[in-house]
A = this chain, B = another copy of it.
């Protein structure tokens, strides 16, 4: 027996099930599962993902077994649907759709109404008793097939689809406005013109043989696995290329045969808020793609989600199919124990389910659904914790618009994806990318978005569309990305040519600032101040559960009492990195810092440092107080001194004036401090070793503040961290300086405080010699930003030029500055942990690079046995959740 390549589904004869996602793709396995559950799905079959791999390996050729099994699959459909593929009287029409193991909505190609030709069209017309429907179906088929299979789709976004030009001309000739106003003859004429256009452009005749049509479409779907959109999407979503897509061939059912037909998409719960309410949209007399494309504004499916009385719900106009749909959705959610995203078509009063899948949702919805499902007994707490994508929480944590701010709302659309965004208007996805690269915050404004816009949508702070509903492309994609989106904003007139959008006569140009409130659907003029979000009780619940499971601590990187408090509210269990240099820039301090840098000798430096001491002490006092009872890790001065001097001509002049010296002297000092590679230069502990008086001042400020607070009854746990250690001797040197000062200060102030002296591990050599470094260090904290820079030999400031090229050429799976490179940098970390703990078995080890807030990196930190991660305040909840998930999945 040959390998099984084709898996049937529909009425009784179903070969697959939901567990076979890898082989049948998401869509195929779920169609089989629905079929197994007795839910009505149009009969069909799935060509497995193995065939996709073979297709690429064999240059688009198939084994005979595949051909045979596809033929058998078609017979299976014919049998169940009681129609015959290519038959003149009772023709079977088919759809051909992609279906990968991971959802890639809209990224690959689809062909509908397949099987039509000059012969079968007559059978369809006869059977539907609707000539216009017949020719419209044929017109759609030729257009889709022409685009997808025969390469008629324009390569550049600027060019218009040739078929749309023909349609527009026809409408003009006929003096009508909408496609729906064209009659059967017009559509018949369009079919002819379309075929002529294809012949003209490609030199090929449009195929009349249904089998040729079928294989052409199957090939096109497999081929679309590697189109640019799909590649981009896979990269963004970490989907491996070798998975491949399955192809689903299925009997067509029609939501557009007349007013007793409809088509719709729905979610078993509200995907934006998570509310436990069936939530969906439908269109009467339409094909499925019409709902998603956003050309006609869809209607709510049920009474509960209707927002105004003028809307006609499905519940109202087709109560019986709706009741059936309601039963099915409940069945599906219970069966899958997760919120489902479903598609359905009603053909002449009969309900057909076309798809079910786990629904994408906002972070807020994810949290609410998870907590409520635990309450409903559908899932347990562990599952609830695993259900929420840690990264997605970011959406909930970022500021919202200040409710008390003055806002000029210029118009309102659908609240398609929550969040608050302020940025400058751009009208094209590629411009969004260009502007964003230059550091601009942009909002992408489109009439509607399409899968081609994925890159621009990814970088935009927010998305605004004039057309489309809550399930439009823009809305679905934005929610997935956690990007704020206002959709279907009908009052917007967008002109791509002049790059303007007009609302009630007011014109907004490219580059103008606007703001979007994705939770309310508001479009606001200019910038709007933001405030901290209020976190829901459900959020608190999830965090509470996460903390039950997680094994490693979560600290924060914070340099001010304000940030410290903020992070503490988010659940931070201490400060893992307090950068002291940020404090050097405020107000008068920078003057003293510059005095120190300009000083000719140690005495001069000490005089300047003496001025800084009270400021630093005050800084630490505030931070220690805010973090009472929790450890606070303070890093001694890290950046090269030139960073504290002005590099612009004008600012040098200003500094000279302020310091009472000549500009030339300033210039000379800047030049003297110039380095070819400052990242590898005179910074970190190298400063403290050259100028021990700097470390002394900082140690004094820390210990004085700590002693003072202890006298006031506040519990302080300072941890002094020496940066950029590469050898044990460096740490010995700086530790000696710190301890001497600390002992002296405690004696002076007549009180003892507990403090630790530890080190960053951010130089490869420190990781490699961690056993020696640990002889001096009381704790380790991985500085993974620098460690990544040095392990890769990439300067973060410069790598942009070639990393872009690396991305295109698939040289790196991830940006190593975003997600820790476990394969390389990870080894240094594992070596350091192992060696460090060989010397001191209980050595406290954490991470304070930006990776500390990246869920995949947190998983790594858990796995290699760190004691804590430290990240920016807003990422603390993400890290808490990621740590819990790591603990659960690594059991």
Using CB atoms and an 8 Å cutoff, list the residues of chain A in contact with chain B. Answer: 675-682, 686, 689-690, 724, 726-727, 729-730, 733, 762-765, 768-769, 772, 786, 789-795, 797-799, 801-802, 805-806, 809-812, 821, 823-825, 827-828
Contacts and interface: CB of A to CB of B under 8 A. Distances in A.
B733 A675 contact: no
8 contacts: A678-B798, A679-B680, A689-B809, A690-B801, A729-B811, A765-B821, A768-B824, A768-B828
Given A689-B811, A764-B791, A812-B729, A824 B769 contact: yes
A740 to B, nearest CB: 15
Given A689-B806, A791-B768, A811 B733 contact: yes
Contacts of A765: 791-793, 821, 824-825
Q: Which of A689, A724, A798 has the most CB of B within 10 A?
A: A798
Q: Please provide the 10 A-B residue pairs with the shortest distance between their CB atoms, ordered closest to farther.
A: A680-B795, A677-B795, A765-B824, A681-B798, A676-B797, A675-B798, A686-B802, A677-B679, A677-B677, A763-B793
A168 B590 CA distance: 58
Q: Which of A680, A809, A810 has the most CB of B within 10 A?
A: A680
Q: Which of A677, A679, A772, A793 has the most CB of B within 10 A?
A: A793
Nearest to A730: B811
A793 B726 contact: yes
A680 B682 contact: no
A680 B806 contact: no
A749 to B, nearest CB: 30
B690 A805 contact: yes
A798 B677 contact: yes
A805 B806 CA distance: 40
Q: Which of A676, A677, A825, A827 has the most CB of B within 10 A?
A: A677
A781 B795 CA distance: 23
A633 to B, nearest CB: 21
A499 B678 CA distance: 39
Given A809-B733, A811-B689, A680 B824 contact: no
A169 to B, nearest CB: 38
Given A677-B797, A682-B802, 10 more contacts: A676-B798, A680-B680, A682-B801, A686-B802, A689-B802, A730-B811, A763-B792, A764-B793, A769-B827, A790-B791
Contact of A682 (B690, B789, B790, B798): B798
A110 to B, nearest CB: 33
A797 B765 CA distance: 19
A789 B680 CA distance: 8
A764 B682 contact: no
Nearest to A679: B677
B798 A828 contact: no
A709 B534 CA distance: 77
Contact of A790 (B790, B823, B825): B790
Contacts of A724: 793
A108 B719 CA distance: 45
A695 B149 CA distance: 38
Nearest to A674: B798
A727 B809 CA distance: 13
A805 B762 CA distance: 22
Contacts of A793: 679-680, 724, 726, 762-765, 786, 790
A825 B727 CA distance: 11
Contacts of A680: 677, 679-680, 789-790, 793-795, 798-799
B729 A810 contact: yes
A855 to B, nearest CB: 23
Nearest to A732: B811
Contacts of A675: 795, 797-798
Contacts of A730: 811
A725 to B, nearest CB: 10
Nearest to A763: B793
A590 B136 CA distance: 66
Contacts of A825: 765
Contacts of A763: 791-793
A824 B763 CA distance: 11
A830 B798 CA distance: 30
Contacts of A810: 729
Contacts of A823: 769, 772
Contacts of A790: 680, 764, 790-791, 793
Contacts of A729: 810-812
Nearest to A789: B680
A792 B772 CA distance: 15
Contacts of A824: 726-727, 764-765, 768-769
Q: Which of A765, A772, A801, A823 has the most CB of B within 10 A?
A: A765
Contacts of A772: 823
A678 B681 contact: no
B805 A727 contact: no
Contacts of A805: 689-690
Q: Which of A724, A764, A794 has the most CB of B within 10 A?
A: A764
B764 A795 contact: no
A248 to B, nearest CB: 34
Contacts of A689: 802, 805-806, 809, 811
Contacts of A789: 680
Nearest to A826: B768
B727 A681 contact: no
Contacts of A812: 727, 729
Contacts of A681: 795, 798-799, 801
Contacts of A769: 823-824, 827
A791 B797 CA distance: 19
Nearest to A794: B680
A797 B794 CA distance: 17
A680 B792 CA distance: 8
A730 B682 CA distance: 31
A797 B677 CA distance: 8
Contacts of A828: 764, 768
Nearest to A797: B676
A415 to B, nearest CB: 43
A645 to B, nearest CB: 16
A196 B768 CA distance: 61
Nearest to A806: B689
Nearest to A672: B801
Contact of A678 (B676, B733, B809, B827): B676
A759 to B, nearest CB: 13
A797 B682 CA distance: 11
A801 to B, nearest CB: 5
A802 B690 contact: yes
Nearest to A687: B802
Contacts of A811: 689, 727, 729-730, 733
Contacts of A786: 793
A797 B675 CA distance: 8
Contacts of A821: 765
A762 B792 CA distance: 10
A849 B386 CA distance: 50
A575 to B, nearest CB: 25
Nearest to A788: B765
A468 B686 CA distance: 44
A802 B690 CA distance: 7
A789 B765 CA distance: 10
Contacts of A768: 791, 824, 827-828
Contacts of A690: 801-802, 805
A675 to B, nearest CB: 4
